[in-house]
Structure formats: structure tokens, C-alpha cells
Chain A
């Protein structure tokens, strides 16, 4: 008995049961609680927006794969497009019009990812590329925030009403619900010459659990952090980027707040508001666009954090996570080049170690 195998297959002859599909599914699973909380908080319009954005992202990916004559796989393929759409939706104003979701979702996967060559090839985080494109193109729609109107509560839009809000815009009668985010409000007041001490009474409440004005899936800071810890436990991400990014925001915030409490918001407000948590655990940790080695990851994360703080504090936009992440994405290849792990038997610079001091 003898049998033939045509081309030899190199070792190893065994492999992990892990796969990109599993990784993407687990990331989505850990992200779900925060987003479900967002659905509850902002009601039907946010559910429709989320659905539209995710579908558009998947559709954009399928379109490109079809054009490039590549197999389009199952409904959500490896899940990366769905995750991109999801992260984008999480960063959108919860009652944004339908075309914001469609345009953003398609933009993310087509121009943010597939145009670079698909999964693993893009230089910039696709969700953030789309978010920035939306913010620059549609500044009005992207900064209309609503006060929380939990599902089934009095005055919250029902399924039909919600659909109409997404399709036709927020009706004039509901104007009362529009509100401002903490960071946005503070920025506006400061620009009007009102210092923090005076404006603090009117500042939208900064609820630790997340019942506040903000993006669809960003407000529940604790739920996002919990999801992040779950990802660390599952060994999907390491602690380096999230910790470095939160430190990058917290340290300058603490220093500046100590210097001038009237002008600069405190550390807690910075860390728990806006996209800081989502950015630290889910956006900056994107495998494709972040450095690979631990030291590089620390630098990358810290850079994201500091830039976020700088943009929030001194630049024109109240929130800076998306810009900060994109800027750091651009330097990721440089970080990767200069901060490689030390090789066994070599020093940090790659030269063989000298005998005697080993």
C-alpha cells in the first residue's frame, strides 16, 4: 500500500482553531452590551441608523469584492465589514438621517478599506475615515445630538415615528430633544467667554453609567470598558494601547486642570465623555492600523490620547478621537520600523549581543 501526495505541505501540520471570523465575532459580542444600551437610550431611530450603517458597510464590501471578481463569501463574510459599520454607527449621532448611515457605511468599506486592497491592507481605520469624511462634509447633521429618550418611555418615538425621524429628519415639534454633549457645550461656552465654573451648572449631566447626550454607542463608558476587558481576557487585544491612550488623555487633562480649573475640564470628564473609551478599546486597537510590537503600541496609544486631548482643548472640534487615531495611523509604519521587539541573541538595535554580558 502506498499513496501519493502531490505537492508537499510545510510544517506545522496542525493549527489553531482561531480565525478572523472568530475574532470579529468576539469583538462584536463584547461591543454588543454598550450598543444595546445605546439602543435603549436613544430608541428606534438609533436602531434603524445602526441597521442602515452596518448593511451599507457590508454592501460596500460585497460590491468591491464583486468588482474585483473575488469570492464574496457568506452573508457577512469574515465579519470585518460588519464590525467596521458597527463601529462607525456607534460613533454617529443617534438620530442622524438615513443617508448619513448609508454614505458613511459605504465610504468606510469602499474608500476606507477595499480601495487599499481589502482586509489587512488599509493604512487608516476605515470607520474613522468615514466618520471624519462625514464630519467634514455634513457638519450640521453630524453635530445634532439628542437627549436620551429611553425606549418605551413617555415621549420616546415609537417604531414608525422613529423610522420617520431617520427618513425625514427630526420634526420641528421635537426640537426640545436636541441637546449638546459635555465637550461640545463646554467648548461653545468657553468660546463665548463663559468659564467652566459659571457654565458648570448648565453642563449636561455627566452620567457615569452613560445616560447622557452623545453618540449612539459611546456613552456607556463602563460597558465599553467591560467589553474591552473581556477582549483582553480572551487575548484578542493586549492592555498596551487602551491603557496608553487613556493615560495620554488623562495626564495632560490632570495637569492642565490643576493649572487652570476655569479653562480646562477635569480628567474624569475627559476620560468618560465622548469617544475616549470606545477609541481606546475598540478603535485604536484595530489590528490592521496599529503597531505590532508592545513598545510601539504604547507609543501609538499615548500619541492617540495626547492628540485627542490637544484637539478637544485647542482645536476647532469638540471631539478629537477620530482625528487623533487617523494621525497616529499615518505614523504606524514608522513606529513599526523603529520599535521592533528585541530578537533573541541580539540587542535592541539588532546587533548580535556581546559574549560576557549576557
Chain B
């Protein structure tokens, strides 16, 4: 009885230390995952996550300092991709995803101050001084950086309008729940 318990304990100890040693000596030196994570992020450097840009956010994600839900413009799809890459479990139903949103200009309030077009990371806002500005839908990443700088609150974030070409069937299982 004692013998069997002892031998099992010994075996466990030996194998455990072997694993520990392996983890120490066979560890991958650098973290190639950062580049991969950065590729998954929208890349608009909007700063909504609290980091300077997407590269910095990727570093934080790789270190486990930032949650996979950090990127609002990325939406559910990005959360899912990041969680899968990092092997993190995440409850997608808690992620608020009203679908991707983009900026819209209310033409009657815009004064043409050009502040928004200066902060836009993707040059998605066009318009010259004293001219009504407009957002190029395809180029807007939804970072909402322009919202705060607008002096007249002419910019609003709205969901991307669904068109016949973009509409997809909802999942039947979501209809059931």
C-alpha cells in the first residue's frame, strides 16, 4: 500500500519536473503572435482601445494585458478571431455589436471647419474649408475619432445601411433562442 502510493508520487514528481524543465528550455524565444494579432485588427490606428495604435494593442493582447473585446470598430468578428487565436473563451453574447457603424455628416449643421478630415485616419472625410463635408462610406472604419472634434455635432455614428447585396440570412438557431 505504502509502496504503491510512494511509487506513484515519485512518478508524478519525476514527470512533473520533466515537463517543467521542458517548458523552460524549449520555450519559444520571441512572440511571433503579435504580428498575427495586429493583422486581425482593423489597422486604422483610431485609439479607441486606449492604446496608441493597433500595433501597441496587439502587443498588449499578446501579453494578456488587454481583453480580446478591446476593439469596438472590429465588432464581433474581430473578437471571435482574437479569442480563437489566443485560445481564450469569450461569451459573444456579452459583446455589444450593433453591427459595424460608420460616421455620417448632417449636412444642415456642418460648417465646413475641416477639423474632422484632419483627424480621420483613413482620409475618409472629404470637403474643403467652408464647404459641407462628406464621408466616403467604403473608406470609413468607424473609429469615431471625428465625433469629438466636430464643433457643431454634425457628425454621428450610424449603422451601415443594409442593402440587398449585403443582406444575409440570419442563423436559424438565433431565431429559436
Question: A residues engaging B (CB < 8 A)?
Answer: 7-8, 10
Which chain B residue shows the least CB distance to A7? B175
Interface presence of B3 (CB below 8 A): no
Name 5 A/B residue pairs within 8 A (Cβ), A-sorted.
Answer: A7-B170, A7-B175, A8-B169, A10-B169, A10-B172
CB within 8 Å of A: which B128-159 residues:
none
Which chain B residue shows the least CB distance to A8? B169
Query: How many positions in chain B have a CB within 8 Å of any CB in the partner chain?
Result: 4
A10 to B175, CA, bound (A): 12
A10 to B172, CA, bound (A): 9
- Secondary structure call for the A interface: loop
Q: Which 5 A-B pairs have the closest CB atoms?
A: A7-B175, A10-B169, A7-B170, A10-B172, A8-B169
Q: Which residues of B contact A7 (CB under 8 A)?
A: 170, 175
Q: Which residues of B contact A10 (CB under 8 A)?
A: 169, 172
Q: Name the distance in Å between A84's Cβ and chain B's nearest Cβ.
A: 26
A58 to B66, CA, bound (A): 50
A8 to B169, CA, bound (A): 8
Which chain B residue shows the least CB distance to A10? B169
A8 to B175, CA, bound (A): 10
Q: Name the distance in Å between B171's Cβ and chain A's nearest Cβ.
A: 11
A8 to B172, CA, bound (A): 10
Q: Name the distance in Å between A15's Cβ and chain B's nearest Cβ.
A: 14
Q: Name the distance in Å between B123's Cβ and chain A's nearest Cβ.
A: 38
Q: Name the distance in Å between A156's Cβ and chain B's nearest Cβ.
A: 53
Q: Name the distance in Å between A71's Cβ and chain B's nearest Cβ.
A: 13
A8 to B170, CA, bound (A): 9
Which chain A residue shows the least CB distance to B167? A8
Q: Which residues of B contact A8 (CB under 8 A)?
A: 169
A7 to B170, CA, bound (A): 9
A90 to B140, CA, bound (A): 68
Q: Name the distance in Å between B125's Cβ and chain A's nearest Cβ.
A: 36
A10 to B169, CA, bound (A): 8
A7 to B169, CA, bound (A): 10
Q: Name the distance in Å between B158's Cβ and chain A's nearest Cβ.
A: 23
Which chain A residue shows the least CB distance to B169? A10
A174 to B175, CA, bound (A): 62
Q: Name the distance in Å between B9's Cβ and chain A's nearest Cβ.
A: 30
Q: Which residues of A contact B169 (CB under 8 A)?
A: 8, 10
Which chain A residue shows the least CB distance to B175? A7
Bitwise interface map of B from 23 to 52 toward A, beta carbon under 8 Å scored 1, else 0:
000000000000000000000000000000
Q: Which residues of A contact B172 (CB under 8 A)?
A: 10
Q: Which residues of A contact B175 (CB under 8 A)?
A: 7
A54 to B169, CA, bound (A): 43
Q: Name the distance in Å between B109's Cβ and chain A's nearest Cβ.
A: 35
